[in-house]
Amino acid sequence: MIHVYLPGYSTKNLEEAESISKVISKAKLQVYARKWDHWFDETLPFGLERERDLLIKVLQNFKGQGYGLIAKSVGSLLALEVMQAYGRAPKYLLVMGIPTKDMSAIEFATYNQVLKSYAGPITFIRNSADEVCPKDAADKLFEGVTYTYKEQPAEDHRYNYPDLILEIIKQYDTATEQPV
Hey, how many other C-beta atoms are within 10 angstroms of the C-beta on 113? 14
Residue 44 placed within a domain: yes
As a whole number of angstroms, the distance between CA 19 and CA 53 comes to 26
How many domains are contained in the chain? 1
The predicted pLDDT at position 179 comes to: 45
Say if 177 falls within a structural domain.
Answer: no
Reported as a single tens digit per residue, the pLDDT across 93-117 is 999 999 999 899 999 999 999 999 9
Closest CA to 150 of 168, 137, 162: 168
- Whether 88 is in a domain gets the answer yes
Query: Is 122 a domain residue?
Result: yes
Picking from 151, 158, 170, 163, the residue whose alpha carbon sits closest to that of residue 68 is 170
Q: Let me know if residue 178 belongs to a domain.
A: no
CA distance 46 to 67: 24
Structure confidence by residue, pLDDT tens digits, 116-175: 999 999 999 999 999 999 999 999 999 999 999 999 999 999 999 999 999 999 999 876
Q: Is residue 74 part of a domain?
A: yes
Is the pTM higher than 0.75? The answer reads yes
Residue 3 has pLDDT above 50, yes or no: yes
- Whether residue 175 lies inside any domain: the answer is no
Q: What is the CATH number of the domain that holds 14?
A: 3.40.50.1820
Q: Which domain holds residue 38?
A: 2-170
Asked if residue 180 is part of any domain, the answer here is no
How large is the average pLDDT for residues 17-29? 97
Q: How are the residues of the chain apportioned to helix, strand and coil, as percentages rounded to the nearest 5?
A: 40, 15, 40
Tens digit of pLDDT for each residue in 52-104? 999 999 999 988 889 999 999 999 999 999 999 998 999 999 999 999 998 99
